[in-house]
Structure 1
Amino acid sequence: MKRNMLIRLVIDLSMTVLMLVAMAYQITGNTIHEMVGVILLLLFIAHNILNRRWYKTIFKGKHNVRRILSMAVNLLFLISMVVVLISSVPISRDIFAFIPINNDMILLQIHVMTSYWGFIFMAVHIGMSWGTIINAVRNMTGLTSTSRIRTITLRVIAVLIVVYGVQTSFERDMLSRLTIYNPFGWSYDESIMGFLIDNLSVMGIYISGTHYVLSFVRKQDKAMAYKDR
């Protein structure tokens, strides 16, 4: 595997893990939450620097359905993360407490809401690159051969994760968290394992959904290209 690709994977994986840690505010506490936010900011900047060529190609080449969706998701992810990071400064109680800005409940609500949108856009972003991630993992582990049993097993697991993720979305009232209505509905007695399982399953909805939708779109594009010959 190329060194640049390995660095990107490590950064992306670190951002995913830290995003989950940042969302576990009631488990980690405010100080750790803010420290994780600063690290996320640095990794986010590094991620964009490593992928800076993408910005230069936005208006170049052919814009098919997949590329338009990719651009939209990436830009929305970028906007949501920028809003999360900017809104975190005036509501900071530890790291940026020296900044003379009064805490604002509206900013706090915006911070929470956009963090959940960023969480979803991150999952969709991962789903759009899932094929690349799987290929990289295969190269690292040496599992380059295909296996029908392995494929079926992974798909069954994906379905189970999605089903559980949908149930969790309703139980955690994700809609209200995404619409600024009652964004502070946390459970103070939540276990770390329960939090991880629930949030990873929610991520699984968007990762799996995005991956298979794009696979369908890719097949349709190939079919159309074949008919046009």
Structure 2
Amino acid sequence: MGKIARRTLDIAMAVLTLILMGGNDLFYSAFSDLDSGLVHEILGVVLFVLWAVHIVWNRAWIKGVIKGKYNALRIVRTVINAGVIVCVLFLMISGVMISSHVFSWLGIESGASFARNAHMLASHWYLVFVSLHIGLHLSLFIRGKVATGITLTLAAYGIYAFIARGLWKYLTLQQPFFFLDLERGYVLFALDYIAIMALFAMAMQFVMTTMIKYSR
């Protein structure tokens, strides 16, 4: 039951990550009777809570960070996991600062411009680190030739999606505002971002497999 709960949590977090990458615009049509920003903020808080649960469940890893010897693979794993945690914290802090609904009662007005840039930057680096994190454990989710073939196909398409969606611009703050091309539709948006996640996950699994092979 523990494994089922953990896998369910991981899948829920991945789905929420994908949904939240669409920003407020993703909810504009689907929730026309609600403020799209409110939906985005609520789901953001839910994702943060799920990350807190995930970290508590994996607290043994945190306790063991300063223990034992480090080889190249362990360094890579630690950097990726630390990157996820840093991005999550930046997302939550900046999200609270620019909140117009859930945390508006705090009355935070200063630093909003910086917080928006930090939120956009952290969200896209979060996507990268989360995808790499998934790659560390991809064998738990992708098994069999068919599943591997589908994932490889998605990863190959992810190269095009990464360029077409201009993610490199967000990662380097060359794009100051998030833009969701609604004319391409929500389905294609989801496919593109799933493919991008598959790209980084498969790349990480390849790197990890190679490092394990040559460390023997």
Q: Tell whether the structures are fold-level matches, with TM greater than 0.5.
A: yes
The Cα offsets for residues 95-117 of structure 1, whole Å up to 9 and x where unpaired, read as 11222112612211110110110
Q: Do structure 1's residue 106 and structure 2's residue 114 form an aligned pair?
A: yes
The Cα offsets for residues 87-133 of structure 1, whole Å up to 9 and x where unpaired, read as 00110111112221126122111101101101110010000011233
Count of paired positions: 205
Indicate if the aligned counterparts of 1:158 and 1:204 stay in contact, CA closer than 8 A.
yes
Structure exhibiting the larger radius of gyration computed from Cα positions: 1
Percent identity for Structure 1 against Structure 2: 26
The Cα offsets for residues 179-216 of structure 1, whole Å up to 9 and x where unpaired, read as 12224232243422111100000001111111122111
2:204 is matched with which residue? 210
Provide the rounded CA distance (Å) in 2 between the counterparts of 1:156 and 1:59. 38
Which letter maps to 2:26? I
The Cα offsets for residues 6-28 of structure 1, whole Å up to 9 and x where unpaired, read as 22211111111011111122111
Provide the rounded CA distance (Å) in 1 between the counterparts of 2:136 and 2:207. 9
Runs of 4+ in 1 over 4 A off after TM superposition: none
2:193 is matched with which residue? 199
Which letter maps to 2:202? S
Residue 21 of structure 2: which of 23, 40, 43 is its match?
23
1:1-229 alignment, distance < 5 Å: 3-25=1-23, 26-28=25-27, 29-102=36-109, 104-134=112-142, 150-151=144-145, 153-182=146-175, 183-222=177-216
Provide the rounded CA distance (Å) in 1 between the counterparts of 2:64 and 2:106. 38
Give the 3-state SS of the residue equivalent to 2:104 in structure 1.
Answer: coil
Indicate if the aligned counterparts of 2:22 and 2:180 stay in contact, CA closer than 8 A.
no
Query: Please, which runs of 5 or more residues in structure 1 have no aligned partner?
Result: 139-149, 223-229
Provide the rounded CA distance (Å) in 2 between the counterparts of 1:171 and 1:163. 13
Provide the rounded CA distance (Å) in 1 between the counterparts of 2:151 and 2:85. 27
RMSD of equivalent CA atoms = 1.6
Query: Please, which runs of 5 or more residues in structure 2 have no aligned partner?
Result: 28-35
Indicate if the aligned counterparts of 1:110 and 1:180 stay in contact, CA closer than 8 A.
no
